[in-house]
Chains A and B, each alone.
Chain A
Amino acid sequence: MVRSPRFFGLLLLAHALCLAAGCTGRTDQETPAFATVIDDAGREVRVATEPARVVSLIPATTEMVLALGAGDRLVARTDYDRYPEIAHLPSVGQGLTPSIEWLIAQRADLVIAWPDGQARSVVGRLTELGIPVYGARIETLDDVASTIRRLGALLGRREAADSLVAAIDADLAAVRRAVAGRERPRVFYVVGYDPAMTAGPSTFLDELIDVAGGTNIFGDGPAGWPQVSLEEAIRRRPDILLLPQGEGNVGPARLGRMPGWRELEAVREGRIQIVDANTAHRPGPNIGKVARELARLLHPGLAVEEATP
């Protein structure tokens, strides 16, 4: 047996690699799944049984789980989730660096996280250890609906998901009807002030401004959440500034004194409206309410009928 030491070494290596890959007898590919969906990272997410211990690391998806009537299955929250129903749960911090071993100890059977796709990632490590991870990347209003549907499928709440999506659609349609035919003010949505950041096309906020009867002045700008120059903002002559508060943004009084910003006519004339960042910046089940609120800010005195899906 001249070759046995080498063979033993190979065996050891194979074992180590197998250990690393997490293939320690947990291949449940054969058993029928409770639900299977494709997440936003393009990966197949498969839960063997109905998830009973769920961790959502993104505020918007936490809201979805709550709205789907599965809030009692959440076993943790992030610092940003302050709803009374889940305020008693332990917080995993900001959601980017939860303790993996704590999640395992909690026997979490579904984790909803940003799809980070990184080598040193929470998603990758949890997946290796056999925990289903749904990667959510929600940018547009369509993304909100499709995420609600897929989470509904995973959680065994398909009907709740369908009626939630229908309610949101009805809300958005009611707002659209109410502002139809009105003059559309030119809106500068101030995501950040130093540097100036706004909502570009392919974002839910750009779409919500449109639904609420406004014209996003950077609706033809770079997609996503671009930094923009104030010169360009002044050139585009916004009628109104929407200033989200609650995430450490500058207040309207200070903005009015800042060089560059005070050059905007809308700022000089006090046409600044405050938006609650903790609601408006979450592409979740509340986008219908956000659309109503934006419509109210852009069209004072507007009456939006109650939606009946």
Chain B
Amino acid sequence: MTRAAPVHLVVLAVAAACALVASIAFGAAGLRPAEVVAALLGTGDETARTIVLQLRLPRAALAALVGGGLALSGAIFQALLRNPLAEPYLLGVSGGAAVGAVTATALGWAALSPAAVPVAAFVGALVAIVLVFRIAAVVGRSLDTRVLILAGVVVGAFFNAVILLLLTFVDVETFRSAVFWMMGGLGAASWPAVLVLGGYLVPAAIVLLALARPLNLIAIGEETALYLGTRVERVKWVAFLVASLLVSTSVAFSGVIGFIGLIVPHAVRLVWGADHRFLLPASILAGAIFLLATDTVARTIAAPAELPVGVVTALIGVPIFVVLLTRRPL
């Protein structure tokens, strides 16, 4: 880790704080800064308090958590799979989650409790993870990353077919809800979602950050890492499972938000280098900044309608990434 790295992290943390403030300050309702501050202090108009405390704050917090979590798990997957196309949804998590969510909607569980769809999505994601790792474990005693990628892709394809099959048989309303769910978004962020995701993200991030050094060695090559005393298998299993659970939790609350988990770690690597002791925390912060900023745009630019945040992440992210890529080749 270069000596400048802590400085860069501080810069990123400050930028993340600014993005958080901006996403609380701006919104479709066009509150004045004084009204926002008053609402945060618990005084002022009740409407403004509802907007700031019940809508903007939980949404900003969820955006930061989901963005940070996706970028972190993307960085982990890219390191473990040594594949630049690796991203959080590569191992079938999104397909499994979508099957869970669509099933819960189609069977009418969604009407019973607001927790039904997130729980069903999480369970679906877990089923996908178990399937993928069972397949990989059957093939060989050590976790072969090539098998893992292929297992993830085929399990994902299978679940996608299941979704299409389910959607053929549901009514218009369920169809609409399901498609809406799969688009991904932070529209219904609430404090329970923030508490659950935060409650999982913090310990998961600590575990994954602690694996930064062995991940550096594994990224060079598993054999080298083994010779240098890394318990490669154990590191791989722990990192894969913790990162997959992280993705599952975030999908459960926000659906599939593409692009962040793929691009943010690459961008951080292009700008500051590939040392995981820096890359992992920097990816969390950069992912949080990116999703906070793009969600603020998605919420405000077409107000009083909202754009799907996935559209904005790609529209803004791709040009930025192309500039980075052409300036400093991988």
Contacts and interface: CB of A to CB of B under 8 A. Distances in A.
B254 interface: yes
A229 interface: no
Interface stretch (A16-24, A171-179, A182-190, A230-238): A16-24
Interface in B1-58: 27-31, 47, 50-51, 53-56
A137 B175 CA distance: 14
Given A17-B192, A94-B305, A105 B29 contact: yes
Nearest to B51: A101
Nearest to A124: B114
Interface in B176-199: 176-177, 180-181, 185, 187-188, 190-192, 195
A22 B173 contact: no
A99 B177 contact: no
Nearest to B192: A20
B118 interface: yes
Contact of A16 (B195, B305, B306): B195
B172 interface: yes
A101 B191 contact: no
A92 interface: yes
Q: Which of B29, B47, B176 has the most CB of A within 10 A?
A: B29
Contacts of A103: 304
A100 interface: yes
A76 interface: yes
Interface in A189-225: 224-225
A104 B53 CA distance: 12
B110 A119 contact: yes
B115 interface: yes
A100 to B, nearest CB: 6
A120 interface: yes
Interface stretch (A27-35, A110-118, A156-164): A110-118
Contacts of A122: 187-188
Nearest to B117: A119
A128 interface: yes
B125 to A, nearest CB: 14
Nearest to A125: B188
A14 interface: no
Contacts of B51: 101, 104-105
A156 B168 CA distance: 41
A285 to B, nearest CB: 21
Given A16-B195, A93-B302, A105-B51, A117 B110 contact: yes
Contacts of B53: 19
Contacts of A16: 191-192, 195
Contacts of A137: 173
B299 interface: yes
A19 B187 CA distance: 18
B54 A102 contact: no
A76 B304 contact: yes
B181 A120 contact: yes
A98 interface: yes
Contacts of A102: 27-29, 303-304
B231 to A, nearest CB: 36
B290 to A, nearest CB: 20
A22 B54 contact: yes
A307 B31 CA distance: 51
B254 A120 contact: yes
Contacts of A92: 304-305
Q: Which of A17, A94, A117, A119 has the most CB of B within 10 A?
A: A119
Contacts of B47: 104-105, 107
B255 interface: yes
Contact of A101 (B28, B173, B188, B307): B28
Contacts of B176: 96, 114, 116
Interface in A108-142: 114-122, 124-125, 128-129, 137
Given A104-B29, A118-B110, A224-B172, A99 B117 contact: no
Given A104-B51, A105-B30, A124 B185 contact: no
B304 A119 contact: no
A25 B245 CA distance: 37
The 4 closest A-B pairs by CB, nearest first: A93-B305, A105-B29, A119-B117, A99-B28
Given A96-B176, A99-B303, A101-B299, 14 more contacts: A19-B54, A97-B187, A97-B307, A99-B27, A99-B29, A100-B187, A101-B28, A103-B304, A117-B108, A118-B181, A119-B117, A119-B181, A120-B180, A124-B188
28 contacts: A16-B191, A16-B195, A19-B53, A19-B54, A19-B191, A20-B192, A42-B111, A91-B304, A91-B305, A92-B305, A93-B304, A93-B306, A97-B185, A100-B188, A102-B304, A104-B47, A104-B50, A116-B176, A117-B110, A118-B188, A119-B253, A120-B117, A122-B188, A124-B114, A124-B188, A128-B190, A129-B50, A224-B172
Interface of A: 16-17, 19-20, 22, 41-42, 76, 90-94, 96-105, 107, 114-122, 124-125, 128-129, 137, 224-225
Interface of B: 27-31, 47, 50-51, 53-56, 101, 105, 108, 110-111, 114-118, 171-173, 176-177, 180-181, 185, 187-188, 190-192, 195, 253-255, 299, 302-308
